[in-house]
């Protein structure tokens, strides 16, 4: 009999990773399924980045790199932080890992002790609570309802903080809500945290480049420079550079934390893929103009989806300020029945019904800490989005 560890039993498979797999399985079984679950842009990785990988391979950059990231990439990351965020990090204050996810995993595994608390504003990215649990900690969820724009308010943060709090996780723009914090909002949170010097902030900036309308991106250590000494500024190339499969994330933080994370990484992956690291240098140092082009396209898709959902009885949503997801409420459909008489009791019932009746895969809000909501990704073609919204309308209209 296979004996699994207690720590493994505390976690479940990532809902977003599993959803994509489910769509592929259903398609393979011959079902006409539309998947609006993907947490990745449908754009190709730009040519100059792919060419840099090819050149690196041919130049023999196919061996182990420094565990914490090849020095030229850490230089490019330092330069990126200086140029785009006004943050000065030494090379010893930078780590490169196999995606932002591994950065977050490393950081929490290195710093969270049994029973420590990690504040996770809800809605949240699915992996924060489970990585916290795996590390032995306790996620403390702070509800951030739609009428707060899905954002953490200082008074709610104050309520959640205590002597056991080790981290606050701040994800802006947020997955799944798109909520994007302004400088003033970050400063108001920092003011509360001033009174809790033992608390560190994990700023997950992976959607930095994907903000819409007049939303401007600011990261915490930039808004409140004194917090740089207790902030892990996390970023990566997955989303803005359409490089999810290359698996390169990076972070800046005080050297003792980075050293600890590198130690852990030396006993797990030995560092990120060498060729992908060369490609990431080309991404960070190369032309950035395609980001604005992609962003304009994403904004048009966002507007299309928000307009279509707005016409559906029982569905409500706000236009997200960033990232590429719409977090829509299906609360008005709770208590309705399918033509077969099944009761829609919760958001999961609604998303199951969408898949069963219409072959539309979206993510259930419960995975993100917001039941009676669902998340759909608009990082796909307009044709798929139109058809997806048509299926949502048909599924809602069939309920009585
Ligand atoms: N953080 C958030 C909020 C995300 O949505 C994701 C991916 O979906 C990640 C981190 C992980 O990104 P990466 O591909 O760099 O591991």
Question: 317 in a domain, yes or no?
Answer: yes
Q: Is the CB of 241 under 6 A from ligand 1?
A: no
Band the pLDDT of 16: cuts 50, 70, 90: confident
Cα 20 off chain centre by: 15
- E strands of the chain, at which residues? 34-35, 94-97, 117-122, 138-143, 165-171, 200-204, 231-236, 249-252, 325-329, 360-361, 363-364, 373-377
The pLDDT tens digits of the residues spanning 234-245 come to: 999 999 999 999
- Beta carbons of 328 and 317 less than 8 angstroms apart: yes
The CA radius of gyration of the chain, in Å to the nearest whole number, is: 21
The whole-number pLDDT of residue 67 equals 98
Q: Are residues 194 and 294 in the same domain?
A: no
Last residue of a domain, one of 285, 313, 337: 285
Shared-domain flag, residues 197 and 95:
yes
Mean pLDDT, the chain, whole residue set: 96
| 92 belongs to a structural domain | yes
Q: Indicate if ipTM > 0.90.
A: yes
Dump pLDDT digits (tens) for 131-142: 999 999 999 999
Domain count, the chain: 2
The candidate with the shortest Cα–Cα distance to 360, out of 346, 371, 373, 374, is 374
Give the ligand 1 atom nearest the CA of 204: 1
Q: Are 199 and 167 in contact (CB under 8 A)?
A: yes
311 alpha carbon to ligand 1 midpoint, in Å? 31
Model confidence at 61, in pLDDT bands (50, 70, 90)? very high
First-to-last C-alpha distance (Å) of the chain: 48
Q: Which element (helix H / strand E) includes 71?
A: helix 71-85
For a substitution probing ligand 1, which of 15, 17, 101 has the most ligand atoms within 8 Å of its CB?
A: 101
| Ligand 1 site, residue 175, Cβ cutoff 6 A | yes
Q: Supply the CATH number for residue 380's domain.
A: 3.90.1150.10
What pLDDT digit, counting tens, does each position of 146-180 carry? Answer: 999 999 999 999 999 999 999 999 999 999 999 99
Same domain, 251 and 187: yes
d(CA 243, CA 291): 13
**Atom 8 in ligand 1: residue holding the nearest Cα:** 39
The answer to whether residues 152 and 225 belong to one domain is yes
Residue 17 has pLDDT above 90, yes or no: no
| pLDDT (mean) for 34-54 | 94
Residue 1 lies in a domain: no
Cβ burial 92-129 (10 Å sphere, 16+ → b, else e): ebbbbbbbbbbbbbbbbbbbbeeebbbbbbbbbbbbbb
pLDDT tops 90 at residue 320: yes
Whether 252 and 311 share a structural domain = no
Which one of 270, 285, 300 terminates a domain? 285
pLDDT score recorded for residue 22: 83
CA of 100 to the centre of ligand 1 (A): 6
Mean pLDDT to the nearest integer, 385-395: 97
Q: Report in angstroms the alpha-carbon separations of 179 from 140, 169, 302.
A: 19, 14, 14
What does the pLDDT average to over 192-198? 97
Q: What is the mean pLDDT of residues 299-327?
A: 97
CA atoms within 13 A on the CB side of 155: 1
Q: What is the pLDDT of residues 112-138, one digit of tens each?
A: 999 999 999 999 999 999 999 999 999
Q: Is 180 in the pocket of ligand 1 (CB under 6 A)?
A: no
Contact 170, 189 (CB under 8 A): yes
The reply to whether 261 and 356 lie within a common domain is no
User: What is the band of 33 on the pLDDT scale with cuts at 50, 70, 90?
Assistant: very high
Together in a domain, 103 and 182: yes
CB of 125 sitting under 6 A from ligand 1? yes
Owning domain of residue 248: 48-285
What's the rounded mean pLDDT across residues 235-263?
Answer: 98
Identify whether residues 139 and 278 lie together within a single domain: yes
Q: Is the CB of 263 under 6 A from ligand 1?
A: no
Rounded percentage of the chain residues whose pLDDT exceeds 70? 100
Angle 100-111/127-134 helices, nearest 10 degrees? 40
Contact 391, 315 (CB under 8 A): no
Same domain, 58 and 39: no
Task: Tell me the two tokens of residue 383.
Answer: 């044709």
Does 108 map to a domain? yes
Structure-token match 């391979």, residue found: 57
User: Which ligand 1 atom sits closest to the C-alpha of 239?
Assistant: 14
Pocket lining: 204 vs ligand 1, CB cutoff 6 Å: yes
Is position 311 within any domain?
yes
CA of residue 78 relative to chain centroid, distance: 22
Is the model's pLDDT at 14 over the cut of 90? no
Does residue 185 line the site of ligand 1, with CB under 6 A? no
Residue at a domain's end among 253, 285, 317:
285
31: in domain? yes
DSSP designation for 371: T
């Amino acid at each position: 009999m296979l004996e699994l560890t207690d720590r493994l039993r505390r976690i479940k498979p990532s809902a977003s990773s599993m959803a994509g797999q489910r769509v592929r399985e259903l398609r393979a079984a011959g079902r006409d399924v539309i998947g609006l679950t993907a947490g990745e842009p449908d754009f190709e990785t730009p040519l100059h980045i792919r060419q840099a990988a090819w050149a690196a391979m041919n130049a023999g950059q196919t061996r182990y790199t420094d565990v914490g990231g090849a020095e030229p990439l850490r230089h490019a990351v330092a330069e990126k932080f200086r140029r785009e965020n006004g943050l000065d990090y030494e090379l010893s204050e930078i780590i490169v890992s196999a995606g932002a996810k591994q950065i977050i995993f490393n950081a929490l595994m290195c710093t969270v002790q049994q029973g420590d608390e990690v504040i996770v504003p809800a809605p949240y990215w699915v992996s924060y609570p489970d990585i916290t649990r795996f590390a032995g900690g306790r996620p403390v969820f702070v509800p951030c309802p739609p009428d707060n724009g899905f954002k953490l308010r200082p008074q709610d943060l104050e309520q959640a903080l205590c002597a056991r709090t080790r981290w606050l996780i701040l994800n802006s723009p947020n997955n799944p809500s798109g909520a994007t914090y302004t400088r003033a909002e970050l400063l108001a949170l920092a003011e509360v945290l001033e009174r809790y010097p033992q608390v560190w902030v994990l700023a997950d900036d992976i959607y930095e480049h994907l903000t819409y309308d007049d939303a401007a991106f600011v990261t915490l250590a930039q808004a409140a420079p004194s917090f740089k000494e207790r902030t892990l500024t996390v970023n990566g190339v997955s989303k803005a550079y359409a490089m999810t499969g290359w698996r390169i994330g990076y972070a800046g933080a005080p050297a003792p934390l980075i050293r600890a994370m590198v130690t852990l990484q030396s006993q797990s992956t030995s560092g990120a893929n060498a060729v992908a690291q060369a490609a990431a240098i080309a991404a960070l140092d190369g032309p950035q103009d395609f980001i604005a082009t992609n962003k304009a396209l994403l904004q048009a898709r966002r507007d299309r989806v928000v307009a279509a959902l707005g016409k559906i009885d029982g569905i409500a949503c706000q236009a997200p300020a960033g990232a590429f997801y719409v977090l829509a409420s299906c609360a008005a459909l709770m208590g309705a029945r399918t033509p077969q008489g099944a009761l829609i009791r919760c958001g999961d019932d609604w998303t199951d019904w969408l898949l069963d009746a219409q072959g539309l895969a979206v993510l259930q809000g419960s995975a993100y800490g917001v039941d009676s909501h669902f998340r759909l990704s608009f990082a796909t073609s307009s044709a798929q989005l139109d058809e997806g919204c048509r299926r949502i309308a048909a599924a809602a209209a069939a309920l009585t």
